[in-house]
Structure 1
Amino acid sequence: MYELAPNIELLFTEAGDYQDRVRAAAAAGFTAVEMWGPTGVDAPAQPKDIPALKAALEETGTKMVAQLSEPRTQFMIPPWDHSEFYRKLDEGVEIAHALGTPRIVVGSGTGFGGWKRQVQLDKLIEIYQKAIAQIEGSGITLVLEPVNVRVDHPGSLLDRTAEGVYVARGVDSPFFGVLYDIYHSAVEGEDMAAELAAAGDIVKYVQLADAPGRGEPGTGDLDWPDRLRILRGAGYDGPIGLEYYPTTESAASVAYIREVAAAA
């Protein structure tokens, strides 16, 4: 059985503020949640009250399994000043420690037309080797997310799982891996079984949404029993983030995927 983690930016918003969404998720039977930017920089709503969020997690015994890094630096855009990313990474680690979050999600930002793609990927390796060295000893794992460019993130450099794996292998740290998002991979037309077979234990976190539409499982064309069977067969047994836009009330939207995950 997989542990599912509703994204509190998108799910249980009916409950109110972020800390109330944690309580609502827990009341619905979830033991884990995930979120986007910890202080709201990348979130579509007001900044988060971290002490209140921490209190809600502790009160309910709920785990925060992933949060985004801030800001989402455009690494390949001149003048290539990444100082704010590194500064905020330290703040993100402090918040992760406060909330008990083991993973921080990072990305590539947009690419730069003046460099060959391989050069840009190698530059990402350098950037994240420095990031890993900076937070050494923190116990926090950075997970790099490839995202689709066909629908949601046009212009993003990293849109292929294999290239995320290439960067992660180049960083070469047990505290750096890939976030495999089933939705983004499907939109890009990837073969999930082949991608996961090539990635091996580099995949350190998974998220999902149905495709097309990025709604809850059951609203699109993906075969979810088969998708989770492939995931299990690839050896992944960690939590799965529910990062979708619900088409109905949150508690109803999770019913099908909870049933599938319980049997996976």
Structure 2
Amino acid sequence: MSLQFGFSMNAFREYSTVEAIDAVADAGYDGIELLFDQPFLYPPAATDEEYDEVRAALERTGLDISNCNAFMLTAIEDFHHPSFIEVDENYRRRRVEYTLDSLDAAAELGCDHISIEPGGPLPDGKSREWAMETFVGGLEELAVKAENVGVDVLVEPEPDLLIETSMQFLDVIERVDSDRIACNFDAGHLYCVGEDPAELVETLSPYTKHYHLEDIPEVREHDHTQLGDGAMNIDAFLEAVEDSGYDGYITVELYPYQETAAETARGAMDYLRDHGWA
């Protein structure tokens, strides 16, 4: 099989940066998704020593960076706030500035892309069109920096946020005139909103620069579940990705398993190996 797999650092918040990188390498992955949030390297405040620490650990373990996750922002508030569509312009600006810093951080570490939240939760009293215009305005500013540093900005559709579905993503991408704005295709998120990830691979492949993978329960609740413990047809999805000719990383994202992060990473790799994908 030709697919490459990483595991997301966001399950390892109880670990140090080096411990997380070591655990992912020990679990048998070829890549790791760096989390640009506390307690790890946080771009607005990162030091040269922190960059050196990440580079040294990656070189020692032989891991690639599969993606840089600039979605979660608990250093300021939580996963979704501040968002790109906050009513308070100053608060919204903090998300944009953080993302600009994240583009610089990814470039510093030699990663080709960052993933970001798809706008954010729609604020009370604001129309969807206002939110779309506000989000697109933010993306247009990010696109300028992205083009300057050579790093793509990957919008990640997610349930209950501004961009949930493949069609909503395509609507956004048509509004931004930059090849640097692309898609972080999260298979579980699209499954949650009633779509078939396997069928969408071909539709979104012109824009997809990275994939997230997790399983999802049969009721399609947004609950990242260990591979094989949910209802998704993971084999069909991975077959579609392989058939598309994609040559980047698929990152397993199981952040709810923080109490058993290393064991969970190993279990997901066992599933991929048992099914012939790794």
Tell me the TM-score normalised to structure 1 length.
Answer: 0.82
Aligned length: 252
Query: Structure 1 residue 114: deviation in Å?
Result: 3.1
Q: Give the counterpart letter for 2:6 in structure 1.
A: A
- Give the alignment partner of residue 85 of structure 2, picking from 76, 79, 83: 76
Query: Given the superposition, is the C-alpha separation of residues 111 and 243 from structure 1 closer, same or farther in structure 2, using an over 3 Å criterion?
Result: same
Aligned partners of 2:84 and 2:95 also within 8 Å: no
Task: Determine the structure 1 residue equivalent to 2:173.
Answer: 168
Write out per-residue CA displacement over residues 187-216 of structure 1, whole angstroms, 9 at most, x where no aligned residue.
111122443343241122110110114222
Partners in 2 of 1:194 and 1:242 — Cα distance? 20
SS in 2 for 1:241: strand
- Give the alignment partner of residue 269 of structure 2, picking from 254, 259, 262: 254
Partners in 2 of 1:202 and 1:191 — Cα distance? 17
Query: Structure 1 residue 88: deviation in Å?
Result: 2.3
Partners in 2 of 1:118 and 1:258 — Cα distance? 45
Query: Structure 1 residue 39: deviation in Å?
Result: 4.3
Aligned partners of 1:22 and 1:33 also within 8 Å: yes
Query: Given the superposition, is the C-alpha separation of residues 175 and 258 from structure 1 closer, same or farther in structure 2, using an over 3 Å criterion?
Result: farther
Task: Determine the structure 1 residue equivalent to 2:95.
Answer: 85
Q: How does 1:77-156 map to 2 (within 5 A)?
A: 77-81=86-90, 82-107=92-117, 108-149=119-160, 156=161
Aligned partners of 1:69 and 1:105 also within 8 Å: yes
Write out per-residue CA displacement over residues 131-174 of structure 1, whole angstroms, 9 at most, x where no aligned residue.
1113432011100011123xxxxxx2221122122212322322
Query: Given the superposition, is the C-alpha separation of residues 135 and 182 from structure 1 closer, same or farther in structure 2, using an over 3 Å criterion?
Result: closer
Q: Give the counterpart letter for 1:128 in structure 2.
A: L
Instruction: In structure 1, list runs of 5 or more residues that go unmatched.
Output: 150-155
Write out per-residue CA displacement over residues 216-249 of structure 1, whole angstroms, 9 at most, x where no aligned residue.
2111112221111122344433211110145781
Task: Determine the structure 1 residue equivalent to 2:78.
Answer: none
Q: How does 1:186-201 map to 2 (within 5 A)?
A: 186-201=191-206
Query: Structure 1 residue 259: deviation in Å?
Result: 4.2
SS in 2 for 1:179: strand
Partners in 1 of 2:98 and 2:181 — Cα distance? 18
Query: Given the superposition, is the C-alpha separation of residues 113 and 90 from structure 1 closer, same or farther in structure 2, using an over 3 Å criterion?
Result: closer
Aligned partners of 1:2 and 1:261 also within 8 Å: no
Query: Given the superposition, is the C-alpha separation of residues 197 and 94 from structure 1 closer, same or farther in structure 2, using an over 3 Å criterion?
Result: closer
Query: Identity of paired residues, percent?
Result: 21
Q: Give the counterpart letter for 2:114 in structure 1.
A: I
Partners in 2 of 1:113 and 1:194 — Cα distance? 34
Task: Determine the structure 2 residue equivalent to 1:9.
Answer: 10
Q: How does 1:177-188 map to 2 (within 5 A)?
A: 177-188=182-193
Partners in 2 of 1:211 and 1:135 — Cα distance? 32
Q: Which moved more, 1:101-110 or 1:72-81?
A: 72-81
Query: Structure 1 residue 119: deviation in Å?
Result: 3.8
Q: Give the counterpart letter for 2:268 in structure 1.
A: S
| Higher normalized contact order (CA 8 Å, seq sep 6+, divided by chain length) | 2
SS in 2 for 1:254: helix
Query: Structure 1 residue 74: deviation in Å?
Result: 2.0
Write out per-residue CA displacement over residues 22-62 of structure 1, whole angstroms, 9 at most, x where no aligned residue.
1232233322100322444899xxx9944322210122221
- Give the alignment partner of residue 232 of structure 2, picking from 222, 229, 234: 222
Tell me the TM-score normalised to structure 2 length.
Answer: 0.79
Aligned partners of 1:54 and 1:98 also within 8 Å: no
- Give the alignment partner of residue 243 of structure 1, picking from 253, 258, 272: 253
Task: Determine the structure 2 residue equivalent to 1:152.
Answer: none
Q: Which moved more, 1:132-141 or 1:241-250?
A: 241-250
Task: Determine the structure 1 residue equivalent to 2:76.
Answer: none
Cα RMSD of the aligned pairs, angstroms, is 2.8
Query: Structure 1 residue 124: deviation in Å?
Result: 1.7
